[in-house]
């Protein structure tokens, strides 16, 4: 409805809902909380989010896809980091057939946020 905004609680719920059948530890995806990016931008934010990630029982760099919801200036966008920890192709016979290159997909349909 006009004048009503999508809040972070609803977005967190929706993102967890679509990944509900996935075990956080065994899944190939990880969805970060909507507050992650906002906290990271604050003063000492890097220390805060680093303390969050070091307490996890899994290495999120082994995930195929990392989802970062971004809320800035009353607008949502989504950053997806794919193959974040894949920087070694030593197990590959042919690099072009098995090496999965890290890349970022930035979903911002109105091109509102700076990449």
Tens-place pLDDT, residues 10-27: 888 888 887 777 776 778
The strand pairing partners of 76, in sequence order, are: 71
Residue matched to tokens 């929706």: 14
pTM > 0.75: no
Q: What is the pLDDT of residue 90?
A: 55
112: Cβ–Cβ under 8 A, 6 or more apart, which residues?
Answer: 73, 75, 77
C-beta separation of 8 from 34 below 8 A: yes
Mean confidence (pLDDT) of the chain: 78
Which of 19, 21, 13 is closest to 80 using CA atoms? 19
């Amino acid at each position: 409805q006009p004048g009503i905004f999508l809040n972070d609680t609803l977005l967190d719920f929706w993102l967890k809902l679509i990944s509900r059948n996935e075990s956080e530890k065994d899944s190939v995806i990880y969805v970060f909380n909507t507050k992650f990016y906002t906290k990271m931008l604050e003063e000492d934010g890097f220390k805060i989010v680093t303390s969050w990630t070091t307490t996890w029982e899994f290495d999120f760099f082994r995930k195929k896809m990392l989802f970062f919801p971004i809320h800035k200036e009353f607008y949502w966008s989504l950053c997806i980091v794919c193959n974040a920890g894949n920087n070694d192709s030593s197990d590959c016979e042919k690099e072009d057939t098995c090496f999965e290159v890290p890349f970022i997909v930035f979903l911002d349909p109105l091109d509102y946020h700076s990449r």
